[in-house]
């Protein structure tokens, strides 16, 4: 299913952040720079979600929302309000408007995606295959759990497999960065023999992802965890015994 998402904000910067955040998702994006144009566009395209700024020229977000609530065709549309003020009274007023959620500016793309996942829980990540290559070959090692990307390493890592893993990791790291996604789990628990070739591949992927400023969790068996402690790259990373524990750790962290 392709969602229609409308951003209404007079800031080109904010509209660009939203556009970049959804690059890797199956969505059709629309933009308006004030409430008047946003209301007209909403009536035309019937979006599933509107990301709506409060303070804008011509027609404010509050005025636009009021007109939406009076329109039977738009009043049920999910809305995430954007505000520059985080005070309690301001937040309470936003909540009373009947919007689904709100965000305080400035914000990052991945923070927006987390909020949108709550409003549109079945938002699906789009697999962007490289030119001429099927999607399965492009990132077959990757899956998505909510807003967490999971890299499952093969059970046996040879030199050729290592090159494939690194190539897919480079492509996925770029894709995540463009989309504003940051959460990555690397699951190595299925590796039968964590030998030097496998360890070199793992360290190369970790270094690549750290340079991309991704937030990494590892999944490893008890014996593998002992081996990981001897390396600077892996010794300080959070390591969990299961994928579910690794994913949960992101949301347990302050």
- pLDDT tens for the chain, 254 residues: list them: 578 999 999 999 999 999 988 887 778 899 999 999 999 999 999 999 999 999 899 999 989 999 998 998 998 898 998 988 766 666 666 667 778 778 888 888 888 888 887 777 655 443 333 223 344 445 679 988 777 899 999 999 988 888 889 989 998 998 888 888 899 999 999 999 888 889 999 999 999 999 999 999 999 999 999 889 878 888 889 999 999 999 898 887 55
Beta strands of 105-171 (E only): which ranges?
Answer: 142-145, 148-152
The H-assigned helical ranges of 22-158 are 35-45, 61-69, 88-96, 109-119, 135-139
Measured at the CA of 35, the angle between CA 30 and CA 38, to 5 degrees, comes to 25
Distances from the Cα of 228 to the Cα of 65, 80, 141, 157, 238, angstroms: 53, 42, 21, 16, 11
CA distance 236 to 96: 44
CATH class of 135-252: alpha beta
CB atoms within 10 A of CB 211: 9
Which pairs from 247-253 meet CB under 8 Å and 24+ separation?
A: 247/145, 247/146, 247/148, 247/150, 247/185, 247/217, 249/217, 250/148, 250/183, 250/215, 250/217
* pLDDT score of 56: 92
Q: Which two tokens stand for residue 212?
A: 């991309």
Q: Select the CATH number that applies to the domain covering 3-119 from these four: 3.30.43.10, 3.40.50.2300, 3.30.70.20, 3.80.10.10.
A: 3.40.50.2300
- Whether 149 contacts 176, CB under 8 Å: yes
Nearest to 228 by CA among 211, 216, 212, 213: 216
Give CA 165 to chain center in angstroms. Answer: 22
Domain range summary for the chain, segments of one domain joined by +: 3-119, 135-252
CA distance 3 to 128: 17
* pLDDT score of 135: 40
């Amino acid at each position: 299913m392709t969602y229609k998402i409308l951003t209404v904000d007079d800031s080109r910067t904010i509209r660009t952040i939203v556009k970049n955040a959804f690059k890797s998702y199956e969505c059709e994006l629309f933009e308006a720079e004030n409430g008047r144009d946003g209301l007209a566009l909403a009536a035309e395209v019937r979006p599933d979600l509107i990301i709506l700024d409060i303070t804008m020229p011509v027609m404010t977000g509050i005025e636009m929302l009021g007109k939406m609530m009076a329109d039977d065709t738009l009043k049920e549309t999910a809305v995430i309000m954007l505000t520059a003020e985080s005070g309690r009274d301001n937040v309470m007023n936003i909540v009373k408007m009947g919007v689904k959620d709100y965000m305080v500016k400035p914000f990052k793309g991945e923070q927006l995606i987390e909020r949108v996942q709550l409003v549109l829980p079945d938002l699906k990540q789009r697999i962007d295959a490289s030119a001429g290559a099927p999607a399965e070959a492009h990132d077959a090692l990757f899956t998505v759990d909510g807003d967490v990307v999971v890299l499952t390493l093969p059970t046996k890592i040879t030199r050729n497999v290592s090159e494939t893993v690194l190539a897919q990791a480079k492509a996925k790291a770029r894709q995540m960065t463009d989309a504003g996604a940051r959460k990555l789990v690397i699951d190595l628990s299925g590796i039968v023999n964590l030998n030097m070739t496998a360890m070199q591949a793992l360290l190369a992927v970790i270094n690549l992802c750290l340079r991309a400023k991704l937030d990494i969790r590892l999944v490893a068996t008890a014996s593998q965890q002992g081996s990981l402690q001897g390396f600077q790259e892996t010794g300080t990373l959070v390591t969990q015994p299961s994928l579910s524990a690794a994913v949960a750790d992101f949301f347990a962290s302050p």
